[in-house]
Structure 1
Amino acid sequence: MDTPQNTALMRALTELPGPLPARGVIHIAIRHTDRFTVVGNHLAQHPTLSTTAVGLAVRIQSLPQGTEIGIKALAARLPEGEKLVAAALRELEAHGYLQRARTRLPNGRIVTRTVFCNQPAALLRPRAVAPLPQRRPAAPQIPAPQTPEPEPPAPEAAAAPAPPDVQHDHEDEHAPQANTPFVPLVPPPTAPKPPRPPLPQPRELTPELDRAATALLSDLRRHAPQFVLSENDVRQLAPAVAAWLERDAHPDTIRHTLTTDPPQLLRHPAKLLRHRLTVLLPPPLPGPDELAAPARPRVVVTPFQTCDGCERAFRAPTPGRCRDCRTEHGTAQAAA
């Protein structure tokens, strides 16, 4: 027995105009009037996106503004797990449909802001500027007929002709130029990058330190062939190596620190050495006085004394009577 849906589907199929294809899909398109989302073919027929990523993009595009679309939030509403959702989000992020950036709010809190664009290719195309409406020409004014007036007998001075009423057209000032460079709609960074720290400098660059630092930098290519430095690089990095030598760092230790575990494709060895010389600078060695243990404060212990009256032990700085004997002795003297 056919369901009502199948019956309605067959009836709609018979109402389609024109000959139907012998094979392949047949579309029955019913116009939506509410609760629908427009999806472009660039997403629905994307050649490299997986089906999960396309479906997830359609799901995100249908959500209202401000909906949480994190990995855990989407996995809680979808049958797919967190790993599959995370992989689909990475695909959308790689193709420009999704962007996740950490932003600092005015109150100092750092949040992750997620932006979804339904047509990322449109952001890279130059935007067409609508032409400004042209000003309608003013209708010619017909002067009213005037009656001729008698000419004055002798004018004292010919009046200077009044300057014509020139209307300045200010629209050209604000009109967009044809050669205006296109600026992509990319959000600005949250904060400027901090300046690089300066190279360490020795307290006194003696000729011996400069000679030893220059020799150490020039000799690096014998131990690591990728660390080939120019004379200008050696001249700039020598004071930093001198600062390490001034802090009693052994040359073998410096060489091992600078050349150990370099990147596979080392294009700028001088920049890597500059970074390591600045960030990994050891502190100065402490002196013998700084390594001495601090003196412990002396604790004064009150010695024991033997009471002259009752011969009990009590603590007091000097010999004498205990508190009870002093009280009894004072009472006896007062009674006498």
Structure 2
Amino acid sequence: MATQHDIALTNALTGIPGPLPPSGVIHVAFPHANRFTIVGNHLAQHDGLSLTAIGIGVHIQSLPAGAQVGIKALTARFAEGETTIAAALRELETHGYLHRTRARLANGRVITRTVFCNQPGAVLRGGVVPVVGPAVRSTAPAPTLVREHVRVPEPTAVLEPRPMAETTSVPEPMPVPEPMPVREPIPVPEPVPVPEAPHAPVRLPPRTAPTQPRRPLPHPQALTPELRQAASALLADLRRHAEELVLSEEAVEELVPGVAAWLERDATTDAIRRALTADLPKPLKHPARLLRHRLTALLPPPLPGVHDLAQPRRAPVTPFQTCDGCERAFRSHDPGHCRDCRAQYWEAA
């Protein structure tokens, strides 16, 4: 098969008129009978477009009217990714080959209109009226997607009358085509807003529980200079035990009464430090607020006094006595007879 192919190619090269170039590409061109698209060299040999943009431009020009040429559709068709295809479409847009505009339909839906111009220069000059047709023809140029189309009739020649007495030959004037008005695009009517039915006012459900006010920071009964100095030193020393607890001077002055209240209730500095630095959240955004909450919520009660810790006195117990008559035991503060013996003595008396 390879030998037959080489022989056929050699025969085709032999049929090319004229000398073959000594180097470079050699074109073997056969006329197309069907399924072809005419592409201008201004696109195929564009020096400002990338190879991907040129290939996508040729591909779009060969598609029929109404074909999908979005990024998703081109990505599903070719091996290039969305980023590469999007960049190529932007190149075609920059050089005037591709135009993408947003339009609103009569039903209110917004769509994207994609228009591809096979000759951007002719559109800028305004000398060509685009024509809508099938994308693949046997004898027609490449298609162009347009929204409105107007076919220009054949121009009629306008001849001026020649005088009868004139003997010299005067060249006939060239036919001047009459300018045909181009129909303006039909404006798309704006969707008429439909008034919505009035809705009943939405009522939010009542809050189940009111927001609790923030508890005030505890204060000692008497903020002595000694308590103030000890509380300030403890707060300033917290950053040695937890790097997150870096407080400003204003925050230290605000929290001093709370620490002084703890010290007044005989809480040790180690206990206060453990309560303020244990289980810190990560990350800690507001250290002063956290310390204020812990000083308020974890405040210990005052230590009880010595009398409060003494054992309660028991109620006095009536001692046992032995009855002088029956020798039974009974409770009484004084010795004597039990209740039964006393009853017998009263009856006898």
- TM-score (normalised: structure 1): 0.40
Larger radius of gyration: 2
- Which structure ranks higher in relative contact order (CA pairs < 8 Å, sequence separation ≥ 6)? 2
- TM-score (normalised: structure 2): 0.39
